[in-house]
Chain A
Amino acid sequence: MFEEVIQPGASWSHVLKRGTALRITDVEGGANVGALFYNFECTTERYNMPDTLKAQHIARLTRDFVLYSDMGRILCSITGDTVGWHDPLGGCSEAGRDSFLIELEKWGLGPRDLVANVNFFSRVDVAHDGAISFHEGNSKSGSSIDLRAEMNVLTVLNTVTHPMASGAAKPVLVSVFKVEAPRHDDPCRVSRPENGRGFTLTERYFL
């Protein structure tokens, strides 16, 4: 439907409609995309890091996993991923936070609406003792992730460098395209019984 380059260190937002998907492509390799997600119709419903992790027993994001809101619904499904690991833990730097705040204010949201964010294309490893470290070289040039909107999702992105990384910010390409509704055997729906219930609750919201 359209595509756009997000320049290094820049912010972007869009209401990703149910029935469409967003592909983010790491053009040069080594990109980071800080991301927040809200139900556009009721923005107090938003991406919830703990609900996403505990429903799927994960501390990383990749294909066939989904992003949960605090209301038991699925904001986006990860329907494609050539990287294998995206970071839900590292948060954002001061510059990343400022970037989120500028973009949130455009939609009438503010500091109280900042929540734990996702960092696409970045990886934070957790050792057995709980120590965390930034994993260099996680994303190569041309890597991409596909996010299918299961609701009408206010999507807020920025390309500020990951807070645990050194090095320059990188650009990404975003493209929005139409997709079919998830079928009964959709890989994200059947990946865990929890996600089956998450899809049911999301579909009921639209009845």
Chain B
Amino acid sequence: MTRYSHVIPPGEFWIHEIKRGEHFRIVDLHGNQAVDTLFYNARNYADRFSAQDTIREQKNIYLTTGTRLMSNFGTTMLTITEDTCGRHDTLGGACSHESNMVRYAIEKRHMHACRASFLKAVSTWPGLEKRDIPPNINFFMNVPVTPEGQLTFEDGISEPGKYVEMRAEIDVLCLISNCPQLNNPCNGYNPTPVEVLIWG
């Protein structure tokens, strides 16, 4: 019944259309792997996943079963139908050469980063460019916020084989960077592959 499956190595991007009504599963094969993910309305890329609209509509910053992933124009793009991890991040965004320089050291510029993968992806895909890279979802990543307004990167709560599954409510284009970050615990300091599956 699976029409498509693919293993994304760490540090690689994946870009693929998912049709309305299809199911999409991301499997954290080895555990604690951040999967930086963007969605676009496949008919209009200006209509894309919005972290702020998603968290405001469900009144919660974490994503899990029942979450509707919203666009910046109020479109329900996908609904999370199953989640064996329990919590996914909307605020941590993607690492970049530049954010690594700020966060860790200017000498870290060369280290591979998600936004470099996103940039490589949009350069291959007609209709997308740098300004089409908004704040993303980090599936399987744990970024708690305290009532005092502090934000921290904690050890992951995912484990090998945990997965998140969603149903596309419109035709969407999905762009993933399987995170190569080595400077914080988002990948358990050991980036590993994840699997994506699509079925009708």
Contacts and interface: CB of A to CB of B under 8 A. Distances in A.
Interface of A: 43-44, 46, 48-51, 53-55, 57-60, 68, 70-73, 85, 89-92, 94, 97, 110-117, 125-133, 163-164, 194, 197-198, 200-201
Given A44-B131, A116-B134, A164 B56 contact: yes
A182 to B, nearest CB: 16
From A50, A70, A164, A200, name the one whose CB has the most chain B CB atoms within 10 angstroms: A50
B135 A115 contact: yes
A53 B153 CA distance: 11
A117 B27 CA distance: 32
A114 B52 CA distance: 12
Contacts, number: 138
Contacts of A116: 50-52, 134-135
Nearest to B48: A112
A130 B50 contact: no
Interface stretch (B18-26, B101-109, B156-164, B167-175): B101-109
Nearest to A109: B131
A130 B150 contact: no
B119 to A, nearest CB: 11
Contact of B92 (A54, A71, A112): A54
A180 to B, nearest CB: 24
B103 A113 contact: no
Given A91-B52, A163-B56, A85 B92 contact: no
10 contacts: A44-B129, A49-B93, A54-B91, A71-B98, A73-B98, A127-B147, A130-B62, A131-B60, A197-B101, A201-B98
B157 to A, nearest CB: 13
Given A51-B93, A89-B52, A72 B102 contact: yes
Contact of A198 (B61, B102, B149): B102
B101 A49 contact: no
B59 A132 contact: yes
Contacts of A55: 99, 102-103
From B99, B106, B134, name the one whose CB has the most chain A CB atoms within 10 angstroms: B99
Interface residues of B, number: 47
B61 A89 contact: yes
A4 B92 CA distance: 36
Nearest to B93: A50
B41 to A, nearest CB: 11
B150 to A, nearest CB: 6
A115 B93 contact: no
Given A43-B131, A72-B98, 6 more contacts: A51-B102, A53-B93, A70-B115, A114-B72, A198-B102, A201-B102
Contacts of B91: 49-50, 53-54, 59, 89
B196 interface: no
B52 A58 contact: no
Contacts of B178: none
A126 B146 CA distance: 7
A122 B53 CA distance: 16
Contacts of B73: 97, 111
B103 to A, nearest CB: 6
A49 B134 CA distance: 9
B150 A58 contact: yes
Interface in B33-72: 45-47, 50-53, 55-56, 59-62, 72
